[in-house]
Every structure is written in structure tokens, then in C-alpha cells.
Chains A and B, each alone.
Chain A
Amino acid sequence: MRITDVSSTIFPGVETLHVKGVVKSVETLNRKVKLFQIMLEKDIRPSPGQFIMFWAPGVGEIPLSVSDYVEGLLDLVVARVGRVTGWMHDNVKLGDLVAVRGPYGRGFTVSGGGRCLLVAGGVGLAPLVLLARRLSEAGSIVDAAAGFKCAEESLPLDKLKRFTDQLIIASEAGDLGIKGTALDAARRLLDSNHYDMVYVCGREAMILAVVKECVSRGLKCEASLERLMKCGVGLCGACVIDPLGVRVCRDGPVFNGDDILKMSDLGRYWRGPSGAKVPLKGGVSAFEYED
């Protein structure tokens, strides 16, 4: 009888210590959002939808979506929301040495072929750029709907445009694109095209609305979620969502629409640093509460 030996198969994704990189550019995208481009010393090969933990020594460490990645050049699109992101906005400059660990988590499914729709709400656009790149490389036709509060809070879409066929922009203020939300923009595309997959990222309330729309139309969809994270590797349980008991850092951050609709926590609760549930006000995403 042969004994199954698993001793040589230690989790292959585990990287040790932080990977260092040099800041190649810092660009202000709008009043609240900056793009940091970092040339890493090591090729971390993230897949779209995965995240890294960004370490600001002496300040903290937070999960950030990989916005784009080309041969070691890592794009991070960062909104100023809390202590670490504020530190990044105020301190990180050209030539600085920075540290990340990862990539972590399960990203978006890229099957190749077909027609796909990306739905981005505000800075939720971040992880969808690398996704658009990979989808287009895999031979999918990519459409996108991007919603912003107003023109002033919009983000540049030129990179996304390189990988997309149809793109509809919406603003709640009506001063950019159509007047309305990302969902309104998405509906226009959903009404006139068939999609093999819809990918969503934005605030929780927006994610829920788009997922419900897709499920009611019988479309497959995936969304990237966010929770306060500590370990990032699936051990501490800080980011668990009830009642499925899924860890956003390891089982996600990307989940399929059916699972998302089963998450009673979504849009209602997240877990604070002690692990206790904290009500989520108005479907605002958890990261806005970073201490």
C-alpha cells in the first residue's frame, strides 16, 4: 500500500518576507486618488483581482488591489482614506524604496473568449484594469461601465480604453457621461449585448445592486470584496464573512454572484480590529474606516 506523501508540496504560492520595489512614478489622478508605479525587485506575477499587503514601516500595512502589472512594474491606485493611505499620499515619492508582500487571494476567473462586462464604481476601477488587460489577451471582447460621483472625482480611463470595445461612463452629478450610477451605465450595455461574465468592483451597496441585476438576468458575475485584513494569508479570521464563513483574503477577495447573495453580512456589517461586527453605514466600504 502506497502512502500518499505530501511533504514536498508545501504551498507553492508562499513568498517569504516583503518584496521590495522602487517608486517609478507618483501621479495625482484626482483630489483623493493617486497612482503609484513601483518597479519590484522580484516578479510576483499577480493574477487579476489579487491583492498585495503594502507595508509602511512604522505606520501600518494594508491590502491594496493590484491595478496593473507588466513585468515587475506594479500599479497601485490608492484613495486617501485612512492612516496608511494618507501616509502614502503625503510621503511616498519618486525613488523611494517600498515593501509589499503577496500577491494573495483568489482573483477573477479569466476563461478566454466571449464577451465580458466590467462594472466599476469609483476607485473600484482599480483591479479591473489588469483584468481588462488579461481578458483582452485571452481573446475576450471587453465592455465597461464606469460610474463616478462627479467629473472632479472621476479617474482617467485611457488605459482601460486600450482593452475595451464599448465603454459607458456615468456620473451621479451628471457632469460626465450619462447622468446616473455605474449600474445605470451597465444596464445600457446589458440591454443591448449578451455577456458571458460580468465583473464588478466598487462600494458594497453598488456591488449588491449590480450582482442582483446580473442574477435576475441569468448572467454569471464575480465581484471583488473588501474587509479589514490582518494576516492576509487565511489564518487570523479577521476578514471572515457570515454566514458562509469565507475569508476575503484567502477564499476571495473575488466571489461569484450566487455566493455574494448568500452573504447576509454584505452591505450591513464588517469586522473591526477586535473581530467584533460593526454596522456598515450606508453600504460604505470597510476601508473607509481604517484607523
Chain B
Amino acid sequence: LNMRIKFAGMTFQNPFVLASGILGVSASLLKRVETAGAGAVTTKTVTRKPRSGYRNPVVVELEYGLLNAIGLSNPGVEEFSKEVAEAKKILSIPLIASVTGSSGGEMVELATAMEAAGADAVELNLSCPHVKGHGLELGHDPGVVREVVSAVKSVVKIPVLVKLSPSLPSLVPIAEKAVEAGADGVVAVNTIRAMAIDVDFRRPVLTSVYGGLSGPALHPIAVRCVYEVYEALGDVPIIGVGGVITWRDAVELMLAGARAVGVGTGIMYRGLEIFRELRKGLEAYMEKYGFTTPEELVGAAHK
């Protein structure tokens, strides 16, 4: 079966993409993810200056998912550009560079640097739920999103994707503005703002108090978000992300409208083998129902 998909001008060997924030810190690790069977990889989000992130604990496992607030730790754009360039030398699958900043100007600078380092696409992280002045604080304002996306689009040639938050009442107005401003694709969704309190110590578990919830709890929310965006924007390519643990979760997101499927927390549950498991499961599903390409599944639940 041909599992290849076209995405915003790129070709993915299969629809499964390493989601941002997961493992994407070093070229060597991205290569391992490629070897494990991913169709494309997204780097960890890079900022202008190095960021240490929050003090531990930065994650805690819950019954129904994972709560995290790493705090956008990254070595900064200068150091990270070298890692991206190194990754491009050893990878044969597309690399999407995730960036975030506190202004349009910063986003432009970062996107330009990532393009120069060889990234195949740039993902604007407008949806980090727990870092002040970054991400969601830009991404909740349709006007700002429009400005940021147009600014980036006016300087880079590689496809520009926008990562959206499920923490808003609806992400459709944001997605619409992003696409109007020239975004080539949408990534839905980031984690949802959440927290956990330790009942014995009577205090928040995460050092940053708030974090983002991923994993099985996020999945039905992601399905809803992707369905809404597809309903409103039709043929804009979407990477559906949120609680993909099994092939069934992935197929659900595709039927809702996702052309590609992000994998993140699933790696904690299933290990890197998850990429092969997902591919095998999707192949079997396609054979069972006579689909010849994953693209036939995209949005098929919209009647």
C-alpha cells in the first residue's frame, strides 16, 4: 500500500509526524524517530534566546493523560540552527521547525533562521498554554495571528503552519485568520491548559502550577477541533494532534479532516515502536475498507 501523502507542498512517506516538543532536541534523536518509521518530524519549539524551562517537576502522569509544563526549554536559535542543519544532513524525511516568540518580529527572525538552516517548513507555536508572553498569549487574538502570519509569510518561502490551541472556545476564527494571512497549513491541537494538585502536600504538582494536558484525555477534544476546522476551511491541510495512542485514534483524526497525524505522548505509552504500530494498523484498516491512499480518509466523516 502506498502510504505517502502530500502536505502543503511536502511529501510525507506516511501520515505520521513527530509532534513538537517531543524528543526534537537533537539531530541524533530525530534520526532515531525517522528510523522508527515517522513520515515527518517536528522539532522542539525554538526561541530567540536559550531557555532553561521550569524547574522539576515538569511532568506528571495522570490516569487519563500526561500533564506537562517543560517551559519551552531550548538552546536558543543560534545553537539550534546548527542542530537543524545537522539533522537535515542525516534525515531523508521532511523536518518542520517549531518556533515561538513574543512578537511578530521575533517570529520572522526565527522562521528566517530555520529556513536558512534547511527546515522544510516552519510551525508557528501560537498555542503554548503555560509560558507568559509566548504562544497562546499571541494565539488567542485573531488580529495578532493575522499580523504574525503575514509577516512570516512575507519573508520565508517554505510552507508556514500554525499550531492552534484547544483552550479557546473555538479555534475556527484563529484558523481562518491564519489562512487568510497565507498560512499553508494548520496543526490542531496543542495541549489544553490544565493542572493537578497533590492532595497530601496540598499544593500544585507542577512547579509552574499550570501545564498542558495531552494523551487520551485530549483526544476527543482534538477530534472535535479538527472536525470544526475542516468544516470551516475545507481543503487547508491539517495535522491532527492529540492523544494518538492507537491506529484507531489516528484514523479518527483523519476522518475528522486531518491529512497528517501528530504523535507525541503516545511515545510514552508505546515507545518509539508506536510509529510502526500506527502504520500497520492504518494499512490494515485501509485494506479492510478498500482505500488505496490515506488521502481518501481525509474528512470522510463529514457527510
Contacts and interface: CB of A to CB of B under 8 A. Distances in A.
Interface of A: 1-7, 10-11, 14-18, 20, 53, 55, 57-58, 60-62, 97, 99, 101, 229-238, 240, 242-247, 250, 271-276
A58 to B, nearest CB: 7
27 contacts: A3-B281, A3-B285, A4-B281, A6-B246, A7-B246, A11-B268, A14-B268, A17-B60, A17-B61, A17-B196, A18-B60, A55-B56, A60-B55, A60-B56, A99-B200, A232-B59, A233-B59, A234-B23, A234-B267, A237-B25, A237-B44, A240-B29, A242-B28, A245-B28, A273-B52, A274-B50, A274-B73
A14 B62 CA distance: 9
Nearest to A243: B28
Contacts of A245: 26-32
Contact of A11 (B29, B51, B60, B269): B269
A15 B50 contact: no
Interface in B254-281: 264-265, 267-271, 277, 280-281
Contacts of B23: 234-237, 240, 247
Given A7-B245, A20-B200, A236-B70, 9 more contacts: A6-B247, A60-B57, A60-B207, A231-B59, A237-B22, A237-B44, A240-B29, A245-B26, A275-B73
B53 A230 contact: yes
A55 B31 CA distance: 33
Contacts of A229: 56
Interface string B1-35: 00000000000000000000111111111111000
Contact of B52 (A97, A242, A274): A274
Contacts of A101: 57, 60-61
A240 B26 contact: yes
Nearest to B277: A6
Nearest to B44: A237
Contacts of B50: 274, 276
B60 A230 contact: no
A276 B75 contact: yes
Contacts of B55: 60-61
A3 B288 contact: yes
Nearest to B46: A275
A16 B61 contact: yes
A279 to B, nearest CB: 14
Given A20-B200, A237-B29, A275 B75 contact: yes
10 smallest CB-CB distances across A and B, nearest first, come from A245-B28, A61-B56, A276-B75, A273-B52, A11-B269, A237-B25, A245-B29, A274-B50, A61-B57, A245-B32
Contacts of B265: 235
Given A6-B247, A235-B267, A237-B44, A15 B57 contact: no
Nearest to B251: A3
Contacts of A273: 52-53, 73
A238 B60 contact: no
B83 to A, nearest CB: 9
A288 B170 CA distance: 47
Contact of A274 (B59, B75, B248): B75
Given A1-B288, A237-B29, A240-B28, A55 B57 contact: yes
A10 B269 CA distance: 6
Contacts of B58: 230-231, 236
Nearest to A15: B61
B81 interface: no
Contacts of B62: 16-17
B141 interface: no
Contacts of B79: 276
A75 to B, nearest CB: 22
Contacts of A61: 55-57
B205 interface: yes
Nearest to A11: B269
A162 to B, nearest CB: 34
Contacts of B270: 6, 11
Contacts of A274: 50-53, 73-76
Given A245-B29, A274-B73, A233 B56 contact: no
A176 B293 CA distance: 70
A240 to B, nearest CB: 5
A11 to B, nearest CB: 4
Contacts of B216: 10
- Residue among B79, B200, B203 with the highest chain A CB neighbour number at 10 A: B200
- Residue among A7, A58, A60, A229 with the highest chain B CB neighbour number at 10 A: A7
Given A1-B287, A3-B281, A17-B62, A97 B200 contact: yes
Contact of A276 (B21, B76, B196): B76
Given A231-B68, A233-B61, A235-B268, A2 B25 contact: no
A272 B73 CA distance: 10
B25 A240 contact: yes
